[in-house]
Amino acid sequence: MGGRKKAGQSSGKNGLLARVWKYRTPYLFIAPFFILFLVFQLIPVIWTFVISFADWNGLGSPKWVGLKQYKIMAQDYMFRDAFLNNVWYWIVAVIGVVCISLMIAVCLNSPRLKAKKVFQTISFLPYVCASVAMGLIFMMLFDENAGLINEIIVSLGGKRRAWLGSSQYAKIPVIILFIWRIIPWFTIIIYSGLLNISKEYYEAATVDGASVIQQFWYITIPLLKNILFFCALTVTIDIWKMFNESYTLSGPGTSNTSLFQLVYENGFKSFNLGYASALSVVLIIVLLVISMIQYKLRRSEEGI
């Protein structure tokens, strides 16, 4: 029995090696991806999880402290503020990006629109601008004393606001910059989806007397559900990784600090890599949970 088992194991290994050797060329082509994924993603994630249980400043040997970092996090008001800020950013960004991108894409797809190439180019320009540079421009736009935004508000009879100097308003410039910067990418995705919708649906709906709004609600939206879900999921991942916007448009204290920014400040300013790793682990878990919930809701809608 033992001899037969060893013979079976040996033949199984030989069969596996034979299959690998047979398809060596395809494996060779996909090998760079897996090597890069292993070195720059999987190993760092595992190392982050390990270091979250230690005190380490990047030099010497880590000092293992168990769940100390997570206990500190539970009592840290900066973590609480950053987490709540990210929840607020997430809700506003998903609704804002998906709705505005959809409206722009519908306008670009309209047969009544003239000079489409010009408007397509203009709508994509924000995406090619450097986020840090645009953050500095937004800082000037939302300046309390000489900013264009306050000048417009005053001209309309309103009062000046200390946008970046007030904990009440500091998140608004950050989320506006984020939405403005990434809208072009999602506009292209939705626009490509609109181009794949057959015009026969709209022609039949027009013959049946459906209005433009009814066609949009009962034809466009259902046929774009998968694309809109993809956009919402991608925006979710992007918003929880947001850094440049909140860093360049920093407000008082932690009024508009993002969770990713808090990881950076603990890891590369305070060199508290153990606590920064614990924050990163929480960020990874949050992204996994939110993505799984969104995916589960989507599959339940389809009856799967």
Structure tokens, 123: 């709508």
pLDDT tens per residue across span 53-91: 999 988 888 999 999 999 999 999 999 999 999 999 999
Centre a 10 Å sphere on the Cβ of residue 47 and count the other Cβ atoms it contains. 11
* pTM of the complete model: 0.85
Centre a 10 Å sphere on the Cβ of residue 119 and count the other Cβ atoms it contains. 14
Which of 79, 251, 80 lies closest to 168, judged by CA? 251
Run of H or E including 64: strand 63-64
Q: Side chain identity at 295, as an amino acid letter?
A: Y
For the chain, the maximum distance between any two Cα atoms, rounded to a whole number of angstroms, is 92
Structure confidence at residue 140 (pLDDT): 92
Reported residue count of the chain is: 304
Structure confidence at residue 122 (pLDDT): 86
pLDDT tens per residue across span 18-47: 887 888 888 889 889 989 999 988 999 999
Higher pLDDT pick, 12 / 138: 138
Q: In the chain, what are the domains? A: 69-301 (1.10.3720.10)
Q: Is the pLDDT of residue 184 over 90?
A: yes
Please give the mean pLDDT across all residues of the chain.
89
- Per-residue pLDDT, averaged over 253-274, amounts to 92
Structure tokens, 74: 């539970």
Give Cα 95 distance to the centre of its chain: 13
What's the rounded Cα separation, in Å, for the pair 160 and 152? 9
- Tell me the three-class secondary structure of 78-110, residue by residue: HHHHHHHHHHHHHHHHHHHHHHHHHHHHHHHHC
What's the rounded Cα separation, in Å, for the pair 121 and 143? 29
Q: Is the pLDDT of residue 1 over 80?
A: no
Beta bridge partners of 64: 54
What's the rounded Cα separation, in Å, for the pair 285 and 265? 20
Q: Is the pLDDT of residue 12 over 60?
A: no
Structure confidence at residue 275 (pLDDT): 95
Percentage of the chain surpassing pLDDT 90? 57
What's the rounded Cα separation, in Å, for the pair 175 and 256? 9
What's the rounded Cα separation, in Å, for the pair 128 and 135? 14
Q: Is the pLDDT of residue 5 over 60?
A: no
